[in-house]
Amino acid sequence: MAVETTKSSLKNQGVRLTRQRKILLDLIDKSGKHLDAESLYQMARLQDPKLNRVTVYRTLNMLKAAGLVDELDLMHHSGDQHYYETRMKREHAHVICLRCGKVEEYFGEPLLQIRHQVQESLGFQILLTRTEIGGYCANCQMQRAQELDEAEVEA
């Protein structure tokens, strides 16, 4: 989501886009990563050393309440960590490596098909879908196979 779209959404809701809020929105929107609050805080402080944690948490709560940011748990791979991304992204699934924690986003027709099937068969008007898929990335699959081979040799 472009920060301009966010600006207008916030303005329509009577919320002022402060310098700190803009920094956080830029980080969430343009980092290409799923960032937790502490990571956002550390990265934002590089741009504004006066920024404090309270501002980060308040801003995240305000953006969630405004429907502009989603809070994700990503299969609780890192314990109770929560991660943030802009809501205005195209619908997608999060694919999480349960070993290394790598997160990929999958955009594809099957997600839209599932949405339409649920709407038709259950009569739901779907406003939001969130899909998480857990498994092992290609690198971790290779490492696991190597570890299993080594364990067999030792046995």
List pLDDT tens digits, range 9-48: 777 777 777 888 888 888 888 877 788 899 999 999 999 9
With contact defined as beta carbons under 8 Å apart, do 90 and 105 qualify?
no
* DSSP class per residue in 19-76: HHHHHHHHHHHHS-S-EEHHHHHHHHHHH-TT--HHHHHHHHHHHHHTTSEEEE-GGG
With contact defined as beta carbons under 8 Å apart, do 31 and 43 qualify?
yes
List pLDDT tens digits, range 67-83: 778 888 777 776 677 88
* Long-range contacts of residues 58-64, Cβ cutoff 8 Å, at least 24 apart: 59/20, 59/21, 59/24, 60/24, 60/84, 62/15, 62/21, 63/21, 63/24, 63/25, 63/28
More confident of the two residues 59 and 9: 59
CATH topology of domain 90-155: Dna Ligase; domain 1 (3.30.1490)
79: left (phi over 0), alpha (psi -120 to 50) or beta: left
The first and second tokens of residue 122, run together, are 């259950």
**Can you state the angle between helices 19-30 and 37-47, rounded to 10 degrees?**
120
More confident of the two residues 110 and 66: 110
List pLDDT tens digits, range 80-126: 778 888 776 678 889 999 999 888 889 888 888 999 999 999 999 98
With contact defined as beta carbons under 8 Å apart, do 78 and 37 qualify?
no
> For the chain, how big is the Rg over CA atoms in Å?
19
Q: Where are the domains of the chain?
A: 1-89, 90-155
Burial level of 130, CB count in 10 A (0-12/13-18/19+)?
exposed
CATH topology of domain 1-89: Arc Repressor Mutant, subunit A (1.10.10)
